[in-house]
Amino acid sequence: MINIENDLLWNISIISILLYLIRALMEAIPLPRQLSLSSPPSPLPWVANVVVHQLGGRIHTQHIHESNVSLDVGNNVNAVPVKSRKRPAMLVLPAYSPEKEFSSEKRKIQDVEVAIQGNEYCLFSKKGRRENMEDRYKVITDISGDSNQAFFAVVDGHGGEAAADYVADNLGKNILSSLENIVEADQHTVEQAIRRGYLETDKGFLSQGAKSGACAASVLVKNGELYAANVGDCRVVLSRKGLATSLTNDHNLSREDERSRIENSGGFVHSCNGVWRLQGTLAVSRAIGDLHLKQWIISEPEILKMPLTSDCEFLILASDGLWDKVSEQEAVEIVSREKVDAMNSCKKLVDISCSRGNKDDITVIVIKLQNFVAAAE
């Protein structure tokens, strides 16, 4: 009877040991870390412990020490060995370089200069630091085959190039078209033609729906008379015996009459960093275009007519890129010193303005008046 009990106990012990070993082997199979068993294997059943004790400890567990196996549970001797995950290869990313990333978008703004030498005038234009050149000009000589009739204009665009392009192409054409039907032009009819030319140019540009605008100053020489007109802050300056005389008045919001006109029509004018601006943006009160501000920005020019006399030496017609940095008298003196080379005087005026910090586009036209004066006399 004792032998039967011993045999039964022995068989049960062997089965228990086999089950334990099978479970230990299963738990030793590498699994992903998130699926690995977090709890250690249960201790040997009590029957197996008895048998192991009787066998003198010949059956024992051991830790698996392989290069690809590790224990996840600190110093717990009963922790299940788990195969560690192999670290993936590091991604090799190219070094970040803003220069490379934006190289296609970066454009070096190079200087753009235009120099034109005519019989009675010279012109020099230089792009400022904006990406696009917004200054334009127009010269029409020998009108109707008459060398004593000429038209000159300087155009300074803002908010884009569209208005400046349109004004340069159409202002002189519209003024001359208005003059064609005048047989005996007097002061009033010529002034009316000039005014009509400005207003018609404005109307034509606005019909295109573009929102940019342009200031302009023009000079018409006809029948011994000089007509200077402007909208905005381009300027015409006359040298008479070496003294500078402005033939135009800038249309800006520092003029009380212009500011009052705009405020009385519901416009908002305030000073921003010392500069008066309409609706916080535009610093001029008259211009061609500016569709979004048209209820306040008018295109009617102020016109001055004067006879050409022997003391009239030359005109300086220029955009505000010059006048913001160079005074009228200084400009006249520089041109007077360069009587032989008028083109060099134009370049000097532009260089002086740039050396004093001007960043705007600059266009300068110097018009010699001697031949026009001689024809008038």
318 contacts 154 by C-beta, under 8 angstroms: yes
Domains of the chain: 2-83 (no CATH), 113-251+286-376 (3.60.40.10)
Q: State pTM to two decimals.
A: 0.70
pLDDT at residue number 20? 74
pLDDT at residue number 71? 38
Cα–Cα distance, 300 to 182 (Å, whole number): 21
pLDDT at residue number 240? 95
pLDDT at residue number 48? 46
Alpha carbon of 368 to those of 149, 183, 246, 310, 374: distances in Å? Answer: 13, 28, 16, 12, 12
321 contacts 353 by C-beta, under 8 angstroms: yes
pLDDT at residue number 333? 97
pLDDT at residue number 37? 43
Cα–Cα distance, 198 to 301 (Å, whole number): 7
One digit per residue, the tens of pLDDT, for the chain of length 377 reads 555 556 666 677 778 777 777 777 776 665 554 444 444 444 545 444 544 444 444 444 333 334 443 334 444 444 444 444 444 444 444 444 433 333 333 333 345 899 999 999 999 999 998 888 999 999 999 998 999 999 999 999 999 999 999 999 999 999 999 998 776 656 678 999 999 999 999 999 999 998 899 999 999 999 899 999 999 999 999 999 999 999 999 999 999 999 999 999 999 998 888 888 998 889 999 999 999 999 999 999 999 999 999 999 999 999 999 999 999 999 999 999 987 788 999 999 999 999 999 999 999 999 999 989 887 77
Q: Which of 302, 282, 130, 147 minimizes the C-alpha distance to 216?
A: 302
pLDDT at residue number 112? 87
Residues in the chain: 377
DSSP single-letter state for residue 296:
T
Task: Return the half-sphere exposure (C-beta side, CA atoms, 13 A cut-off) of residue 86.
Answer: 5
Cα–Cα distance, 239 to 131 (Å, whole number): 34
pLDDT at residue number 174? 97
pLDDT at residue number 22? 78
